[in-house]
Amino acid sequence: MQSGGQRFSSSNTLPDFSIIFPTKEIALPDEVQESLHSQSCDAREVVIQLQLKQASSLEELDSATKALIRCLAKKSKDSNRLDVFEYLREITPAGTTGEFVIEPG
């Protein structure tokens, strides 16, 4: 049976929404990931690695740079590099990095 162009199986499973709403995975450049995971790199050095890989400014953001900054912010929180997250919040426009919420895990 078809409904709205989606196929539903007889087992009443939900349709594969990834077909309808594809997501684009953002990946940090290798150098940025390496510096993020290195305890010898401070927050400024991690962000400099990102700036070296991006042609645009961190003050006037295009959508691709904003997505990379949000990705770095999330990965820095996930990696317990709160110094990087806080530094990003200081140097980027308000709202760029997202909320400061540590997810339990």
Bridge-based pairing of strands 6-7 and 2-3 is: antiparallel
In a domain, 10, yes or no: no
- The answer for 100, left when phi > 0, alpha when psi is -120 to 50, beta otherwise, is beta
> What integer best gives the mean pLDDT of the chain?
77
52: confidence class by pLDDT, cuts 50, 70, 90:
confident
Spatial neighbors of 104 by CB under 8 A, at least 6 apart, are none
∠102-71-34 over CA atoms, to 5°? 100
| Residue 46 Cα to chain centre, angstroms | 15
Asked if residue 89 is part of any domain, the answer here is: yes
Q: Is residue 103 part of a domain?
A: no
Q: Are 38 and 53 in contact, with CB atoms under 8 Å apart?
A: no
pLDDT at 94: 85
* Residues 8-49 pLDDT 10s: 444 555 555 445 544 567 788 899 999 999 989 999 999 998
51: containing domain: 28-95
Q: Judge whether 86 lies within some domain.
A: yes
Question: How many domains are there within the chain?
Answer: 1
